[in-house]
Amino acid sequence: MLCPPEIHYLELLQKIKADINLEEFLFARTSCDEFNEECWEMHCTACDNTFFESKSKRLKDFYKCPVCGCEIIPKRWNETKQIKKQHFTYYLFQRGNSSDIWIRAYEVIRSIYGDLDFREYARYYFDYGIAKRWNFDFKGDLYQVKAIKTKYLYKGFYNMSLENYIGSIDIETIKGSCLEYSQLNKAIQVLNDPIAYLDLYIKNPLLEMLWKFNLPHLFLFKIGFSKTVNMKAKNIKDLFFGLGIQDVDNIRDINNSAEFKIYKNLRLKYNFPANDEVCQYAKSISRYDCKSIMFYREKTFKYLKKQSKNNQAYDNVAIYRDYLNELNELQIENPDYYPSDLFESHQRLSLRITAMKTAKYNTQFRIKRKLLKKYCFKYNKMFIRPISSETELIKEGEQQHHCVARYSDSHIKSDKAIFVLRNKIEPLKPFYTIEFDTKKLVLLQCYGFRNCSPTNAVKDFINHWKNYLKECI
């Protein structure tokens, strides 16, 4: 293999120190001075001095080293492991003979005395269309590895591993090279692993456009990235699988590859225009997991717009999905897909389904209620009891705007039962709905109006209830 330019140990040490802003510590422990007086024994990592200080000052009041004056973080001696956290990768960028770039990866470790120790563990080579990596084996010899690395491209998803730390990128070095337009300085703000990014970039230099269009969030789509950004694209139109410049503002608003797919289908397959309204509509279809092909009809879009008070099609996506499901469930012949009052029609069908179901399950609900009688409990200003009938379950779901009505089956047939939490002063009014494992005594779900989370008082009540059950069941 060709070799990168040599670099002297001291030159590299200087570079690392200049590039990386390391935190300095003042470690302290109680000791005795020469007059046998109790004092602080201190060690500063900035100047590597060990010295004594009077105990008249508390440790936390030190913010500068008394010897060298550097800003330090005061720590107890037994916290010297703090310094071990300063374990990172330093990337040294070196220019090759022409447009090529070498990157040497050093593992850098800091000792408690503040000095740095480093060893080169990998070497990379980039040129137009070329990305290579070598590792060092235990004897210190280089061997080439197939994949550069794509494991930790994204920030914040995994624990930081060694390679995710990075020094500064020497912009001077990459000027005029194959990486000049890589937007690497922007990439390291968002992405964990600059090398993995460069690997992607070298394979598709059009990735530069993601930074120019201000679309860094696409990288966070993880596996969805390759479904949103076409890595084989040869021009900008292919970069988003056929969507163009006019779609960029909408793509910026899209949160995941599922939304992207729906937006793309609306635009390209069904010829919807590239505007914010269509984008919001696509996001709604994705959020409510609407599978019906009806949503892709222009007629549906216009209909939902008309049905909305705000004249926004996305307003009624969820309700229309429910309406379509109800038509399906009731197996209505020649269904009216576009009723003049969507909300009213949905309510009507919903009631019909409720009535149908109620007849089916109420006996089992009564049996279950008797079985669960011993779980009833009162405390403070609240009480809890099992749901009494399927009608109540359905009503609870309707009033609370959540989906508890779907739990009929598991309530009757499994240990996962539905309970209702009520305020004593309003015993008939839904307050919180609870799914509870009656065998393991584990709270599975607890939701109030529109899926709101439990308040502290509710959490407290549930803890008392669980303690009561542990003793009595």
The residues, any chain, with a CB within 8 Å of residue 344's CB and separated by 6 or more, are: none
User: Quick one: 24 or 199, whose CB is closer to Zn ion?
Assistant: 24
Q: Which of 140, 109, 108, 104 is nearest to 122 (CA)?
A: 104
* CA dihedral over 358, 363, 368, 374, signed as positive or negative: positive
As measured in angstroms, the least distance from the Cβ of 44 to Zn ion is 3
As measured in angstroms, the least distance from the Cβ of 72 to Zn ion is 7
User: Quick one: 110 or 411, whose CB is closer to Zn ion?
Assistant: 110
User: Quick one: 65 or 184, whose CB is closer to Zn ion?
Assistant: 65
Q: Return residues touching Zn ion (CB under 5 A).
A: 44, 46-47, 65, 67-68
| Dist CA 311 CA 307 (whole Å) | 7
User: Quick one: 113 or 343, whose CB is closer to Zn ion?
Assistant: 113
As measured in angstroms, the least distance from the Cβ of 70 to Zn ion is 5
DSSP notation for 371-431: HTGGG-EEETTEEEEE---HHHHHHHHHHHTS-GGGGHHHHHHSSEEEEEEEETTSTTS--
End-to-end CA distance of the chain: 73
User: Quick one: 25 or 102, whose CB is closer to Zn ion?
Assistant: 25
Cα–chain-centroid distance for residue 82? 27
The residues, any chain, with a CB within 8 Å of residue 17's CB and separated by 6 or more, are: 116
* CA dihedral over 268, 269, 275, 281, signed as positive or negative: negative
User: Quick one: 68 or 376, whose CB is closer to Zn ion?
Assistant: 68
As measured in angstroms, the least distance from the Cβ of 6 to Zn ion is 33
As measured in angstroms, the least distance from the Cβ of 220 to Zn ion is 41
User: Quick one: 66 or 96, whose CB is closer to Zn ion?
Assistant: 66
As measured in angstroms, the least distance from the Cβ of 456 to Zn ion is 47
344 HSE (CA, 13 A, CB side): 5
As measured in angstroms, the least distance from the Cβ of 64 to Zn ion is 8
Amino acid at 104: R
Cα–chain-centroid distance for residue 229? 19
The residues, any chain, with a CB within 8 Å of residue 21's CB and separated by 6 or more, are: none
Strand stretches in 7-56, DSSP E: 25-32, 38-44, 49-54
As measured in angstroms, the least distance from the Cβ of 58 to Zn ion is 19
